Structure 1
């Protein structure tokens, strides 16, 4: 179909190979396909199988598998960050750079109109060589990009003109900064180069939550910043919550259960895992923990504190496998979400009716946490020791402070969260963002392609 007819375009997508990056790209691909556009999605072979169920328009969205080349230091068969510890991610980013010839071959063969990318900064060069446009689509928060990824930025130090005096790192955040410092320089170079050289910038967020940070990024890079909204998946009505969990949760009073999950990339040390379990036990409330087994343990069971299972029988579950998080958060018995505040979980917590307690581990999670706790005042953060670790007492106090009906802080965050949720879920707000994004992109491509 010619570009004149309704200006339908063909987009390439090439996100970082982490599921937390690829998944929102697939959701965006679905929105583009819904409006009649075509998408070719470049991704590692194994991820193909794990993501294809999310592709709602297989006629318009084609998954184009990329072979991950051999790199010394990268274990054979590793294709995504979930396959390897954080310390080896740099080898995977090197492997991503070595896929450039495969990407160029696909561009030559299929002639897209635009390529969306995030960490593969060299995409801007490929796009220019072939006379097509590039867009850096960011799936991490605008708050963290504005804090750490603008020209002249420095890890943990807000840049000049940063639009917040509350979103700052504190002394006990050293652990989160250290874990990120290993690959910050690479990451910084990739993102700032991409943001500087791309044609358009877009961010997976909305004005109501991060407006001033998006404006700041636009000013720093002197580019239009398009927002897609949070790009959460459509609820799958055909897959209700597993009976096992639905029945268990239904045995408790409405709003009484504490649900805790720290995302798939965080693996706790054994003693921190035990502290987490004991902290939730201390609350006296029913709880459901979904985390990966701690370091050095093959199963959750072998790592539990002594006597713990007997003591919490009937009111506490610790589970080491995947669960249907959005459906658990929507269950009437769940009243509190203890989270690491990764960007996806941040949105899920805001869209829920749960009280929010945050336990961040990585640098961007710390900033997301401060956004919710200090700037928007919709959550509480678990205080840390000087070592950066948390104690069972601090975790228990944070949870009970928001779950206690008479607690001042609990009522304040509940009121603020409820007001903010009303805005975010107001009819048409999120679809308005994606509709507006697609129309703006159609117009930008039309303008830039005029003879």
Structure 2
């Protein structure tokens, strides 16, 4: 049993930000000789094929996403639709249950790691398969929002209830402002489907798996184990394997090479975050106001076809030679480790935060939705590795001056705040990159999977 190769099925939520970390874990397991059956929307598979480093062990099971009235034709992931249509995409995902059940009957995996498919635990029990909820959301965020102790799903959720953690939540710097709580209350208010499916997934799975480690989020992990009365397995940081093309495009190499070390601001809000036009402009005008060189890789704002069409009048002329707003994809991991890049202004996605902490870039935090607000408070308050951009308490609006202030704060190595952030960031960078750390977590995860297999038999 100790040397038996395992077979794990994976069913991520239909979002690139979920498909990618699931596939990172699949690569780590395949690297240890284990087999993975990876369910992915059919037309989206080419977008992640390059991340499959072990195609002889990681098999893509292609899903035909059913049509749902109101969902644009051909939509398969959250990248294809506005946020308001995500409930329809979830409905389409739920309609894949018969296909997934038939596939699992044929595949006969030992385990299944699932995401937002709250029906998966019951399905897995019918097939005598252990089901583990693999949470892309951090332990701190899960504990803050979805602890059974809150009982928020039994009644309408108020903003004031979401401004503070549950009563027995570990002592923490996480306290949300009114705007962030208001945004979270809206998510909870959409028929209860999103929070209810997460709570069901957590409650009915055989175990919960986090891309995390006890050294940083230990108190939250212990809290969740008591709240949900089930084991929590950790896979560690799951740093992505070095990209096969680890060299930046020549245009970025040439452009970055014209600036001194650690002087460039890199700004990216991921593949799905879309700002309104006013906030998009305040963001890039804030970057301009710093007087520092910058590269902003952003999606076009709401109502704009391209980033170029949304730029403020005269912006390109004023920042010519030192500032670029780019609407396409950028090799983020390589970008963050370029000698000229010294600051990362981010939306606080968990993957981006891990990549940032593994680099020497200083962190500026600007969350925009969901659990990202809690990620930001955890990073700026608990860990003190970054500075959050100030926002209006009630409306959540940030200004160019606020963006400029946050960037200059983290880039000032002589200030007390700058020194504290650098010291803490350096401590966690060394920890994350310590030889053998990730292997130890993954080996322990596999050991726990095998122990579950013995219990199942």
TM-score w.r.t. structure 2 length?
A: 0.94
Q: Is the 8 A contact 1:14 1:118 kept in 2?
A: yes
Structure-1 residue corresponding to 2:449:
441
CA shift at 1:179, angstroms? 5.3
Find the aligned partners of 1:258 and 1:266 in 2 and give their Cα distance. Answer: 19
Q: Is the 8 A contact 1:7 1:446 kept in 2?
A: no
Mapping for residues 125-204 of structure 1, pairs under 5 Å: 125-153=122-150, 154=152, 156=162, 157-174=164-181, 176-177=183-184, 180-183=187-190, 185-204=192-211
CA shift at 1:5, angstroms? 8.0
Pair 1:5–1:371, CA change in 2 (3 A): closer
Find the aligned partners of 2:240 and 2:172 in 1 and give their Cα distance. Answer: 33
Correspondence 1:89 to 2:86: yes
Q: Is the 8 A contact 1:174 1:388 kept in 2?
A: no
Q: Is the 8 A contact 1:180 1:362 kept in 2?
A: no
Structure-1 residue corresponding to 2:247:
240
CA shift at 1:91, angstroms? 0.6
Find the aligned partners of 1:438 and 1:77 in 2 and give their Cα distance. Answer: 37
Find the aligned partners of 1:345 and 1:272 in 2 and give their Cα distance. Answer: 21
How far does the alpha carbon of each residue in 1:141-171 deviate from its partner, in whole angstroms, 9 at most, with x for none?
1111111112143362422311134212112
Pair 1:52–1:184, CA change in 2 (3 A): farther
How far does the alpha carbon of each residue in 1:32-67 deviate from its partner, in whole angstroms, 9 at most, with x for none?
222222111111101211111111111111101111
TM-score w.r.t. structure 1 length?
A: 0.96
Find the aligned partners of 2:322 and 2:198 in 1 and give their Cα distance. Answer: 45
CA shift at 1:177, angstroms? 2.4
Correspondence 1:408 to 2:442: no
Per the alignment, in what secondary structure is the counterpart of residue 363 of structure 1?
A: coil
Correspondence 1:22 to 2:19: yes
Correspondence 1:274 to 2:271: no
Q: Which region of structure 1 is more displaced relative to structure 2, 47-56 or 82-91?
A: 47-56
CA shift at 1:238, angstroms? 3.9
Mapping for residues 5-404 of structure 1, pairs under 5 Å: 6-153=3-150, 154=152, 156=162, 157-174=164-181, 176-177=183-184, 180-183=187-190, 185-236=192-243, 238-386=245-393, 387-404=395-412
Q: Is the 8 A contact 2:188 2:194 kept in 1?
A: no
How far does the alpha carbon of each residue in 1:234-262 deviate from its partner, in whole angstroms, 9 at most, with x for none?
11254311110011111111011111111
Find the aligned partners of 2:169 and 2:185 in 1 and give their Cα distance. Answer: 22
Q: Is the 8 A contact 1:175 1:388 kept in 2?
A: no
Find the aligned partners of 2:75 and 2:189 in 1 and give their Cα distance. Answer: 20
Find the aligned partners of 1:179 and 1:381 in 2 and give their Cα distance. Answer: 22
Q: Is the 8 A contact 2:246 2:334 kept in 1?
A: no
How far does the alpha carbon of each residue in 1:358-388 deviate from its partner, in whole angstroms, 9 at most, with x for none?
0111131111111110111111000002320
Pair 1:9–1:406, CA change in 2 (3 A): closer
Per the alignment, in what secondary structure is the counterpart of residue 105 of structure 2?
A: helix
Q: Is the 8 A contact 1:13 1:41 kept in 2?
A: yes
CA shift at 1:446, angstroms? 2.3
CA shift at 1:338, angstroms? 0.6
Q: Is the 8 A contact 1:179 1:362 kept in 2?
A: no
CA shift at 1:8, angstroms? 2.0
Stretches of 4+ aligned residues off by more than 6 angstroms: none
Per the alignment, in what secondary structure is the counterpart of residue 371 of structure 2?
A: helix
Q: Is the 8 A contact 2:187 2:194 kept in 1?
A: no
Q: Which region of structure 1 is more displaced relative to structure 2, 159-168 or 377-386?
A: 159-168
How many equivalent residue pairs? 446
